[in-house]
Amino acid sequence: MNPIAIQTNALSRSFEALKAVDRLSIEVPTGSIFGFLGPNGSGKTTTIRLLLGLLAPTEGSGRVLGHDIRSEADAIRLKSGALLEHNGLYQRLSAENNLDFYGEVWHMPTVERKRRIQELLTHLDLWERRTEIVGRWSRGMQQKLAIARTLLHHPALVFMDEPTAGLDPLAAAALHKDLASLAEKEGVTIFMTTHNLAEAEKLCQQVAVIRKGRLLATGPLEALRAQAGGPRLEVLGRDFTPQALEALQARPEVLDVAQQNNRLLINLRQASDTSSLVGLLIEQGVQVDEVRKGKANLEEVFITLMEEDAEAES
């Protein structure tokens, strides 16, 4: 098996003067869940359409499951599942008939098709309602059915454009579990976009962050978090006096200190014993309620990347 499921090389797509995707080079390892992150209009959906061969690149190249995105798009689409912004469901057909139709499109043998439809609908808690017309279903129910449609033919690679948008927290958590087990047990590669960074943090081993079509960072989630910020300490409490903050700042291991209401964020030069810092705060009369050690989370990484890039532009 090819260890790299998706590889792009300076992939670009313009719409007249607008560079929607701008010299994007990424690598997605086979069997991983890859989070493709960026603000609205940054080029995520356009990239997925390029990778599926639904849109031609203006420059650059890409390979998906070993196939060239310009000349072998049919082979890519045969081996992939895609959940795009439009769910691709026929509003006037029942849930079961929708899946049946797609199963036929994929040339699934009848017995296997029926078995798989029952398996997926049961799993998604939609089996009892399989004969209902999809057009009357709620958005979240339709989203679940669209996910079933995407997975129907056991694709090796799945593109999911905001798969949990519109799902309730229980349904979203169930989908997270499904996606994780698909990747882990069946080696399915999942390329997903999401605006929910906590979701990306939970699910994705690797991420890429883009802004205005350009890649700002990519790699294992852990590496990105480590890169964005060194060790730090978060103290929740009261009575953070200016003297206490000054005393902290004077310590050699402290890089900087920021206060937001009842929260103190202390960036450290290196991971070190932090109990003496807490002791110092208590000596200064600070009421310490809670102490947390940690690194930057994905949301902070994301916001920092956006701000730095916007600054570099101006």
Ligand X SMILES: Nc1ncnc2c1ncn2[C@@H]1O[C@H](COP(=O)(O)OP(=O)(O)OP(=O)(O)O)[C@@H](O)[C@H]1O
Q: Which is nearer to Mg ion, 167 or 254 (CB)?
A: 167
Binding partner of 42, given ligand X, Mg ion, none, CB within 5-8 angstroms per partner class: ligand X
Residues at the interface with Mg ion (CB under 5 A): 44-45
Pick the closer one to ligand X by CB: 100 or 162. 162
Partner whose binding site includes residue 31, from ligand X, Mg ion, none (CB under 5 to 8 Å by kind): none
CB of 210 to ligand X, least distance (A): 8
Nearer to ligand X, 134 or 217 (CB): 217
Output the smallest distance, CB 203 to ligand X, in A: 17
Q: How far is the CB of 95 from Mg ion (least distance, A)?
A: 25
Q: Is 263 left (phi over 0), alpha (psi -120 to 50) or beta?
A: beta
Nearest distance in Å: CB 45, ligand X:
3
Residue with Cβ nearer Mg ion (46 or 218): 46
* Coil vs helix vs strand at 232: strand
Instruction: Please report, as ranges, the residues that interact with ligand X according to CB under 6 A.
Output: 15, 18, 20, 38, 40-46
Cα(6)–Cα(52) distance, integer angstroms: 11
Cβ at position 275, least distance to Mg ion in Å = 47
**191 CB burial (10 A radius; 0-12, 13-18, 19+):** buried
- 113 contact partners, CB below 8 Å, separation of at least 6: 100, 103, 104
Q: How far apart are CA 277 and CA 247, in angstroms?
A: 9
Comparison of 38 and 57: residue with beta carbon closer to ligand X:
38
DSSP track, 250-263: TSTTEEEEEEETTE
Q: What strands, in cross-sheet order, belong to the sheet with 33-37?
A: 80-83, 157-161, 189-193, 33-37, 206-211, 214-220
CA–CA gap between residue 151 and residue 163 (Å, rounded):
12
> 73 is written with which tokens?
């798009």
Identify which of residues 44 and 144 has a Cβ nearer to ligand X in the complex: 44
Minimum CB separation of residue 2 from Mg ion in Å reads: 27
Q: Which of Mg ion, ligand X, none does residue 41 bind to, with CB < 5 to 8 Å depending on kind?
A: ligand X
Based on the number of CB atoms within 10 Å of its own CB, is 68 exposed (0-12), middle (13-18) or buried (19 or more)? middle
Work out what residue 46 binds among ligand X, Mg ion, none; the CB cut-off runs from 5 to 8 Å by kind.
Answer: ligand X
State the binding partner of 20 from Mg ion, ligand X, none, CB within 5 to 8 A by kind.
ligand X
